[in-house]
Structure 1
Amino acid sequence: MARPRKFEEERAVEAAMRAFWSDGYEATSTQTLCEATGLGRSSVYNTFTSKRDLFERALILYMDAKTSNLIATLEDGSRPVRERLRTILEWAVEPDADDPAGCLVVNTTVEMAPHDEGIAERLDRDQRRRLAALKAAIEDGMRAGEIDQGKDAPALAHFIISTVAGMRVAARGGAGRATLTSIADTAMDAI
Structure 2
Amino acid sequence: MVRPRMFDEEQAVDAAMRVFWASGYESTSTQALCAATGLGRSSIYNTFTSKRALFDLALHRYMELTSSAQLELIQRDDLPIRERVRRILWNAVEPGPGDPPGCLVINTAVELGPTDPELVELLDRDHAPKLEALAAAIRTAQAAGEVAADRDPTALADYVYVVLGGLRVAARRGASAGAQQSVIEAALQAF
| Aligned residues of 1:93 and 1:180 also touching (Cα < 8 A) | yes
| Aligned residues of 1:142 and 1:148 also touching (Cα < 8 A) | yes
Aligned to 1:21: 21
Amino acid aligned to 1:80: P
| Aligned residues of 2:21 and 2:103 also touching (Cα < 8 A) | yes
Q: Aligned partners of 2:124 and 2:79: how far apart in 1?
A: 29
* 1:101-112 pair list within 5 angstroms: 101-112=101-112
38-47 vs 116-125, greater mean Cα deviation? 116-125
| Aligned residues of 2:92 and 2:101 also touching (Cα < 8 A) | no
Aligned to 1:156: 156
1:74 equivalent to 2:82? Answer no
| Aligned residues of 1:20 and 1:55 also touching (Cα < 8 A) | yes
> Would you say how many aligned residue pairs link Structure 1 and Structure 2?
188
Identity of aligned residues (%): 52
CA RMSD of aligned residues (A): 1.4
Amino acid aligned to 1:19: V
Q: Aligned partners of 2:126 and 2:45: how far apart in 1?
A: 27
1:187 equivalent to 2:179? Answer no
| Aligned residues of 1:82 and 1:141 also touching (Cα < 8 A) | no
Q: Aligned partners of 1:59 and 1:7: how far apart in 2?
A: 20
Q: Aligned partners of 1:122 and 1:168: how far apart in 2?
A: 20
Q: Aligned partners of 2:78 and 2:60: how far apart in 1?
A: 29
| Aligned residues of 2:17 and 2:59 also touching (Cα < 8 A) | yes
38-47 vs 112-121, greater mean Cα deviation? 112-121
Q: Aligned partners of 1:52 and 1:98: how far apart in 2?
A: 23
Shift of 1:6: 9.7
Q: Specify every segment of 5 or more residues in structure 1 that has no aligned partner in the other structure, as ranges.
A: none
81-90 vs 62-71, greater mean Cα deviation? 81-90
Shift of 1:5: 4.7
CA 1:5–1:146 in 2, change beyond 3 Å: closer, same or farther?
Answer: farther
Q: Aligned partners of 1:94 and 1:85: how far apart in 2?
A: 15
Q: Aligned partners of 1:109 and 1:150: how far apart in 2?
A: 33
Q: TM-score, normalised by structure 1?
A: 0.94
Q: Aligned partners of 1:149 and 1:7: how far apart in 2?
A: 54
Q: Cα deviation per residue 1:58-110 (whole Å; 9 max; x = unaligned)?
A: 00100110010000011111122221111111112222242101110110010
Question: Which portions of structure 1, spanning 4 or more consecutive aligned residues, are displaced by more than 6 angstroms?
Answer: none
